[in-house]
Amino acid sequence: MAEENTGEIIVAGWMDYEPADRYPMLGHLVEVGRRTREEEPGCLDYAMTADPTDVRRIRVYERWVSQQALDEHFTTAHIKDFRAATTGLTRVGIAMDVFSVGAARSLR
């Protein structure tokens, strides 16, 4: 039986960067991810990973307690720092979706 509406938000998708820019971007994402998980109580998970089959692609997965928590994320100092640090990196594609979680249950 499914649980009641959780109000959680999931952000999932990918970003493509020029191959020479993907690893520098991943380095910045490690730092912003660490700070996000440590400093934002509304963040339940925040993971950006290199796609092993595409030299340009970074996979994105974020889980938030609410839309408000996600909105507040974009106003933090560490996001401002991240954006400034990655200004010169070339993103060549993006597909990102935001999902409102209606119900959740443990897989096991």
Are the C-beta atoms of residues 60 and 11 closer than 8 Å to each other? yes
Provide the pLDDT for residue 91.
97
In this prediction, residue 4 has a pLDDT band, given cuts at 50, 70 and 90, of very low
Provide mean pLDDT across the span 4-27.
Answer: 92
Provide mean pLDDT across the span 65-71.
Answer: 96
Tens of pLDDT along 24-57? 999 999 999 999 999 999 999 999 999 999 999 9
How many Å apart are CA 39 and CA 33, to the nearest integer? Answer: 10
H/E segment holding residue 58:
strand 57-64
Higher per-residue confidence, 6 vs 100: 100
How many Å apart are CA 107 and CA 77, to the nearest integer? Answer: 36
Provide the pLDDT for residue 5.
53
Provide the pLDDT for residue 104.
86
Provide the 8-state DSSP code for 42.
Answer: T
Are the C-beta atoms of residues 21 and 58 closer than 8 Å to each other? no
